[in-house]
Amino acid sequence: MTLLPWLLTLLQAALFAAAAPLLVGWIKKVKARLQNRRGPPLLQVYRELWKLLGKEAVMAHTASPVFRAAPYVVFSATWLVAAVIPLVASHLPSAAMADVIVLVGLLALARFVLALAGMDIGTTFGGMGSSREMLVSGLAEPALLMVVFTLTMSAHTTNLASVMDYIAGAGLLLRPSFLFALGALVLVAVAETGRIPIDNPAAHLELTMIHEAMVLEYSGINLGLMEWAAQIKLMIYGTLIANVFFPWGIASELTPVALLIGVMAITIKLALLAIALAVTETVLAKMRLFRAPLFLNVAFLLALLGLLSHVILEVGA
């Protein structure tokens, strides 16, 4: 019985990585339907990823060890974050390591290495994409940390599983601080994952691309790991929104019925979030890069309002 929690931890981490491409495929399918197109098959993302992982990587002669190691560092750091975030069950051994500030630091590490790799070859596109990525992340991280502080001050802990248990135990109580934090996290998630209106993952125009510019020199298995890490990162933010602010359904006991309910709950929540993202990307256009700071300033303002409302309405009371 003592091995069961660890086995479930490994299964949850594998499920996270395996389901991330499916989430991207579902978003593409919904967007195609909204645009009156048939769209690619739902499993097309897996075929493309398998094709890339089976190809040999071609390296530039000027590539340094940083460029060669970056895909493995980025993928490992991103998957490590995914492995400790409660996806189906909250009381697993990995939940003890789910410190929110550490998870933000691991995502920052992956972003830093990715930006270094983009500049390593010395191409114009790589340097341009890295500078844009640092502009976005420099404005998104303060807003994300402000959201973290709002949640952790309410739950009196920085452990993500404990925060989920606290919010789940509070019931449907309406809290302005949580509403502001949710709005800020949604805006940060859009910016950090390179979705419209900040970036367009389907476009490869040199004047608009951010993430694609940094991985333009990669090919084969290295490109596959980079794309897989980006898909896992999208699912990380989707899971944070779904399980932190809507923690209902997540398994608190390691029983077959509770785990099945947990799988069904996270599937439904992520599917609904993907539909909302697809609708948003269909009705909105990509904004100019110079308007991205204004977008992220709104996210920081919402997070700050959430923190202040918590201090005034809850701590002050």
Positive/negative CA dihedral, 215, 43, 243, 308: positive
Given this model, what pLDDT does residue 289 score? 85
Output the pLDDT for position 172. Answer: 52
* CB distance 205 to 197 below 8 Å: no
Digitized pLDDT (tens) for each residue of the chain, 317 residues in all: 478 888 989 999 999 999 999 999 999 999 999 999 998 899 999 999 999 999 999 888 888 999 999 999 999 999 999 999 999 988 888 877 888 989 999 999 999 999 999 999 888 888 899 999 999 999 999 999 999 999 888 888 899 988 888 888 775 556 788 899 999 999 999 999 999 999 888 777 666 788 888 998 999 999 999 999 999 999 999 999 999 999 888 988 888 899 999 999 999 999 999 999 999 999 998 888 889 999 999 999 999 999 999 888 766 55
* Complete DSSP assignment for 18-34: HHHHHHHHHHHHHHHHH
Three-point CA angle 238, 241, 242, nearest 5°: 85
Position 315 scores a pLDDT of: 61
pLDDT of residue 310: 86
Question: Which candidate, 199, 66, 74, 78, places its Cα nearest to that of 136?
Answer: 199
- Would you state the pLDDT for residue 192? 94
pLDDT at 211: 84
How many domains does the chain fold into? 1
pLDDT value of position 239: 96
Q: What's the pLDDT at 92?
A: 86
Has this prediction a pTM greater than 0.75? yes
pLDDT tens-digit map of 6-18: 898 999 999 999 9
pLDDT at 290: 87
Tokens, residue 311: 């201090």
B/e letters for 278-294, b = 16+ CB within 10 Å, e = fewer, are beebeeeebeeeeebee
Instruction: Specify whether the CB–CB gap between 189 and 241 falls below 8 A.
Output: yes
Structural domain range at position 200: 3-315
Does residue 146 contact residue 306 with C-beta atoms inside 8 Å? yes
pLDDT value of position 171: 59
